[in-house]
Structures are given as structure tokens and as C-alpha cells.
């Protein structure tokens, strides 16, 4: 869910004519080299990645009865205060949609990426749990989680709602207030800790990989361009480049994430074994070299993949 639909927050970036003559194949090749050399990759994923798993965007999900309501009647604190049952049922319906969806090859490619680079920060604007279900850990969720509910009165209570709780918002076990979806509604700020973590990774990374987002809804929209000004190579994977900025350090890879990401990751890492042991990434299968068995992990590389230990 987007954080805000205030006109001031939706700054559409005018796209200048392309200045670099790169074809998609050239961009792919340059992007693969950048990923292979990177120590720290920051990924920002958006609705397009989930859409490829069949999860409709907020507006596309508004079919049937739900089409009669505006987003402001379903996704604001005011709407929840006025009609908690309606809002709760809308999110329960979306949660059911997510539960029936599966991670796609784009999610799987990100898991492989996370296992191949020394440091990978995963930031998402999506409220589903497909990145986690693909095996990714420590995902920074800028817009909260559809799969969780929290106390509407602001106490620390959170739950994972069950399908049996789809009809009415349950009560907080601590204070008795209504539980609300743990997502960022229109007009609400992004969670500060998560946004700071995302911004820190944006500034620190060598490569910023934007996937399935048009990068027009602030404040997340600025992250790739902030990263570019701090010297990172920015890779943009999206079916359309409309609204995306252009520049010498920005590599546009036009196409669906489920097709382009596996291609990109295979080109970058085929034949290389996982550097990190804290993910369950499968070996890359797209190339002949990937048919070789994975080598046993050397103790030195395993040590570098583990957190620093105090010396004995």
C-alpha cells in the first residue's frame, strides 16, 4: 500500500530523452559486471514484482463489491475508525489473495543474488510475504505487512490473523482495543526505523537494484537517485521505463522481473558458488557450468560469511 496519495508526494519525474545508446542487452551485460564486482547491493522492490505472482495492485484488487469504495474508504485511519469491519474485511480478502499466490522466478533470482554478494539489503514497498516465502531474510518493509495486525490504540500487541478472524477485527489481548492491519495507510508516515535503514543502505551500497517499481511515489521514489548521486550503479528492472530517470550510472533493463532478473543474475554469477551461507539459495541452473556440483565450503569463506565473533 502506498504511504500517501497527497499530490505533493506524487512527483512525476519528467523523463528526458535517453542519453545513453545502450540496448537492453548491453545494459544487462554492464549490470551483470557491476553486480559481480559489488560488495553491497541494495534492492528496492515494488508492486510489479508481486503482480507477476498474480497479486493485483490495490486498485486492480478493487473488483466486485469493493469497486464501489474509494481507496480513502478502505485504506485510511479515518476509514477504519468509521467502519472497522469493512476495512478489516478488505484486508482479509487481500490477505487471502496473497496466501494463494506463490513467489515467482523474480523472487527466486533475488534469493540467489542475496547468496552471491557479500552484503545484500532487501527493501520492499510490498505488503505481501512473497520475498520471505522465497527464502529471503531481514527484509525491510517500508509499508508494513498485510500478514500482520497490530493494536489500533498503539500498544505493542501484534498478531498474525487467521482465516477464522476474517470477518471482524479481533481485540488486542493486551488492552482490548481493535486490532488493525499492520500496513501504512494513506496519510500515515513510513515507519522511521525501516526508512532510515533503507536510506543508509541506499547511501552505502555499490549497486542499487530497483525492481518492479515506477519510482514515482515519494519518499521511496528518490532512493535510487540518491544512491546514484552517492556513486552507486543503479539497475532498473521494470516493464516500462516511463517516469524513470536516465543517466550515465543508470542501467535500464526493460521487461518483467520474472524474466529479466533470472537472466541478469545468471549472467552475473553463473559458475560462482554462494558466498553467503545464511540463505537457502539454490545453485544457478541457467548455464552449463552450473551443472557442476557445488564445491564444499572452504573454512575461510565460511568464516567471512559469519558475523564477527569475539576472539577466544
Per CB under 5 A, residues contacting Zn ion are 151, 153, 155, 157, 172, 174-175, 177
Give dist(CA 281, CA 217) in Å, integer: 31
Known active-site residue 143: yes
Q: How far is the CB of 181 from Zn ion (least distance, A)?
A: 15
Q: Which residues contact 120 (CB under 8 A, 6 or more apart)?
A: 40, 41, 42, 43, 113, 114, 276
Residue 155 Cβ vs Zn ion, minimum distance, rounded to whole Å: 3
Pick 105 or 157: Cβ nearer Zn ion: 157
CB of 195 to Zn ion, least distance (A): 24
End-to-end CA distance of the chain: 48
- Least distance in Å: CB of 180 to Zn ion? 10
Nearer to Zn ion, 93 or 171 (CB): 171
Report the nearest approach of Zn ion to the CB of residue 129 (Å).
23
Peptide bond into 219 cis (omega under 30): yes
Shortest spacing between CB 270 and Zn ion, in angstroms: 50
Looking at the Cβ atoms of 152 and 227, the one nearer to Zn ion is 152
23: Cβ contacts below 8 Å, ≥ 6 apart: none
42 within 8 A of 231, measured Cβ to Cβ: no
Which of 158/287 has CB closer to Zn ion? 158
CA atoms of 123 and 144, how far apart (whole Å): 11
The residue among 270, 229, 280, 84 whose CA lies nearest residue 169 is 84
**Residue among 227, 266, 290, 203 nearest 31 (CA):** 266
Residue placing its CB nearer to Zn ion in the complex, 158 or 240: 158
296-299: which pairs have CB atoms within 8 A and are 24 or more residues apart? 297/273
Residue keyed to cell 525492481: 211
40, 107, 143, 230: the catalytic one is: 143
Sign for the CA dihedral angle at 155, 156, 157, 161 comes to positive
Q: Which is nearer to Zn ion, 154 or 231 (CB)?
A: 154
In whole angstroms, what is the distance from residue 88 CA to residue 170 CA? 9
Nearer to Zn ion, 116 or 180 (CB): 180
Nearest distance from C-beta of residue 161 to Zn ion, angstroms: 15
Inter-CA distances, 165 with 96, 170, 174, Å: 12, 7, 17
- What is the 3-state secondary structure of 160-205? CCCHHHCCCCCECCCCCCEEEEEECCCCCCCCHHHHHHHHHHHHHC
Measured in degrees and rounded to the nearest 5, phi and psi for residue 91 equal: -70, -30
Any idea which residues carry the catalytic annotation? 143
Amino acid at each position: 500500500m502506498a504511504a500517501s496519495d497527497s499530490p505533493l508526494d506524487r512527483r512525476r519525474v519528467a523523463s528526458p530523452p535517453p542519453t545513453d545508446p545502450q540496448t537492453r542487452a548491453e545494459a544487462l551485460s554492464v549490470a551483470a559486471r557491476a553486480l559481480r564486482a559489488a560488495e553491497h547491493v541494495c534492492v528496492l522492490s515494488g508492486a510489479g514484482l508481486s503482480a507477476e505472482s498474480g497479486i493485483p495492485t490495490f486498485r486492480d484488487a478493487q473488483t466486485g463489491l469493493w469497486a464501489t469504495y474509494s481507496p480513502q474508504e478502505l485504506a485510511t485511519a479515518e476509514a477504519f475508525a468509521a467502519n472497522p469491519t469493512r476495512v478489516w474485511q478488505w484486508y482479509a480478502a487481500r490477505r487471502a489473495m496473497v496466501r494463494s499466490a506463490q513467489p515467482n522466478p523474480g523472487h527466486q533470482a533475488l534469493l540467489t543474488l542475496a547468496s552471491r554478494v557479500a552484503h545484500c539489503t532487501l527493501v520492499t514497498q510490498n505488503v505481501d510475504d512473497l520475498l520471505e516465502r522465497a527464502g529471503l531474510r531481514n527484509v525491510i518493509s517500508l509499508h508494513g505487512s498485510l500478514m500482520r495486525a497490530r493494536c489500533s490504540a498503539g500498544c505493542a500487541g501484534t498478531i498474525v490473523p487467521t482465516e477464522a478472524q476474517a470477518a471482524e477485527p479481533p481485540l488486542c489481548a493486551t488492552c482490548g482495543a481493535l486490532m488493525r492491519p499492520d500496513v501504512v495507510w494513506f496519510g500515515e508516515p513510513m515507519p522511521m526505523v525501516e526508512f532510515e535503514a533503507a536510506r543508509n543502505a541506499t547511501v552505502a551500497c555499490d549497486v542499487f537494484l530497483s525492481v518492479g517499481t515506477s519510482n514515482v511515489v515519494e519518499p521511496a521514489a528518490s532512493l535510487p537517485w540518491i544512491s546514484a548521486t552517492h556513486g552507486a550503479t543503479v539497475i532498473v528492472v521494470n516493464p516500462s521505463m516511463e517516469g524513470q530517470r536516465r543517466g550515465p550510472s543508470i542501467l535500464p533493463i526493460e521487461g518483467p522481473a520474472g524474466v529479466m532478473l533470472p537472466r541478469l543474475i545468471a549472467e552475473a554469477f553463473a559458475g560462482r558458488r554462494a558466498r553467503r551461507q545464511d540463505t537457502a539459495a539454490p545453485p544457478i541452473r541457467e548455464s552449463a557450468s552450473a551443472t557442476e556440483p557445488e564445491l564444499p565450503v572452504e573454512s575461510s569463506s565460511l568464516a567471512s560469511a559469519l558475523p564477527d565473533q569475539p576472539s577466544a
